[in-house]
Amino acid sequence: MVDQRSTVERVLAVTAETVDRVVGWSHLPKPLALAVLVGIRSQLRALNLVDTDPDPVPPLDPPLKASDHCKRTIDGRFDNLAQPDMGSVGARFGRNVPLEATWPERGARFHEPSPRVVSEKLLARTEFQPADTLNLLAAAWIQFQVHDWVSHLTSPDSEPWLIDIDADDQWPHSRPMRVPRTPALDGPADVPPTYANRDTHWWDASQIYGDTEEYAVAIRDHDAEGNLLATIELADDGLPTLAAEQLLDANGPKANSWLGLALMQSLFLREHNAICRRLTVAYPDLERDQDRLYNVARLVNSALMAKIHTVDWTPAIIAHPTTVTGMHANWYGILGENFTTKFGRLVDNEILFGIPGGRTDLDGVPFSLTEEFVAVYRMHPLLPDQLDVRSLATGQTRRSYRLDELLADHVHERMADWSMDDLLYSFGRAFPGALTLHNFPAALRDLARPTGEAIDLATVDVLRSRERGVPRYNEFRRHFRLRPAKSFSDLTDNAEWAKQLERIYPDIDDVDLMIGLYAERKPRGFGFSDTAFRVFILMASRRIAADRFLTTDFTPDVYTEAGMAWIRDNTMRTVLLRHFPTLTPVLTKVTNPFAPWPST
């Protein structure tokens, strides 16, 4: 890509990275730290966006008319009107590191050290380490979002990866462990392979609306004559009907469901229906155009999720004062919510007024999510070993469930056993696990798959980065212009971990990315590493800035005035209270719904 910045912008951005390397942004006063983060983001946008399409299609000239494409499509096409296929189902994952650095590991390098040994010696949970500044809704939320963003296809019919199991390993299943491969897309033999996303790349709530026309139709209500209505039909347990669920791929994201994901799905399907009701009150004529009503409600619901992730969830998991301010600035600008709400967007400047409603900006590279983004979002340690279901009325534990009793096969049973407000309260009271070594839940390290075979998900997490050519930890940091760890003790301030790492890895440069991210010292208030944060700085804002429906078409003409007001006036707190007002006494006592809730 061509660096489109002015000389002054480049100098300021390089200076910001230099200050960060010498001092560290998290140690600076907030105003200076924010300026440094802006400079780092400028560098990342200029240097860490890589298009992986070997045969790009030229942009349409002129582009399609926005007035002909004013809704989110099921397959994600037509978000970008000059390149209609951008970000659609089946589009390639991009990269945040140079293509030449993304060759998949093969041969001895792929197997050393054994991903299963890494799982056993470095990841297996020895005792539950809680993230006590968060609640379990935070873990449910991020899986809910990931199910919208990324899902690789796998190929069970191809020759699987065979993971050796040591003789003294307690793995109770067949040996070696068989892991389906990720099929690569067609491309030149002299270029590293690329892979397809089975979801859309856009922030479009596809995790509830679906990626196929068949499912999207199946979840909608029908009137007496069988015509489709704008609202979603929900079963007694608050989830899509069984007929709709049966249309989902049993080997896809459906197999990765659990109770927390189901709670979020049910909550925001209810929110869709509430938005429909509000829109028909404001615009009675919409009742005669059910497709238009459905599409506007989807736009509003999707944008509200993006807002919640930006101003509620992210400030909870990276609770450093600078990043809390920075995430709010991403949405509202540094002038703040009150100023932006009162005066509107006076000039097109994302720093002053936030990204939503500004110009669509691709930074010279077609939009896609990236393999590096997928890799740093491996957060399975967030799941606890058990959940105590508590009574909202008394605060007392009524029953405890092991994690394996909350997974896909048990979701409908758990949702039927307990009321939503009790379950939400129980998640609000529970801690997720910390993103650290020795904290990967046992239930996920012996996980039954729809094929009947079991896998160790920690092993698979390590394997996938090697398979897809995501650089190992030190090399990853070099590509983001960060100082690599000089030694194991330089990587982590836990002396015992340093010794364990040295026993597993021959050299510090051999440390897998996920292992380094979990071992690394974290900035104050952070639930994940500063290395992972670099990818978030880049991609969190890019997912908004590249999306027409969150930038140039984030307008009342597309969303309606009532729809824009719904997004403006709502947060995770108001969504919870709208559908479950019994939570009011608890939620009035917390500043962020993703922080631990008090006892009733």
E-only strand ranges, 364-406: 386-390, 397-402
Residue 412 CA to residue 236 CA, distance in Å, equals: 10
Residue 448 host element (H or E): strand 447-448
Three-state DSSP string of 281-309: HHCHHHHHCHHHHHHHHHHHHHHHHHHHH
The CA distances from residue 293 to 47, 176, 191, in Å, are: 41, 53, 45
Q: How far is CA 319 from the centre of its chain?
A: 18
The CA distances from residue 31 to 2, 27, 28, 391, 596, in Å, are: 30, 12, 8, 44, 29
**Residue 590 · residue 597 · CB < 8 Å:** yes
DSSP category for residue 393 = T
69 is catalytic: no
* Active-site option among 147, 201, 309, 579: 147
Go through 237-250 and write b for each residue having 16 or more CB atoms within 10 A of its CB, e for each that does not: bbbbeeebbebbee
Closest CA to 92 of 179, 199, 212: 199
**Residue 326 · residue 37 · CB < 8 Å:** yes
The CA distances from residue 549 to 16, 300, 353, 544, in Å, are: 31, 10, 17, 9
Residue 23 CA to residue 101 CA, distance in Å, equals: 28
Residue 361 CA to residue 149 CA, distance in Å, equals: 19
E-only strand ranges, 118-238: 161-163, 177-179, 220-222, 228-232
What is the token pair recorded at 294? 């459905």
Reduce the DSSP state of residue 196 to 3 states and report it: strand
Neighbours of 148 (CB within 10 A): 24
Rg (CA), the chain: 23
Q: Check the CA dihedral 7-9-14-19 and report its sign.
A: positive
Residue 103 CA to residue 350 CA, distance in Å, equals: 36
Active-site positions read 147
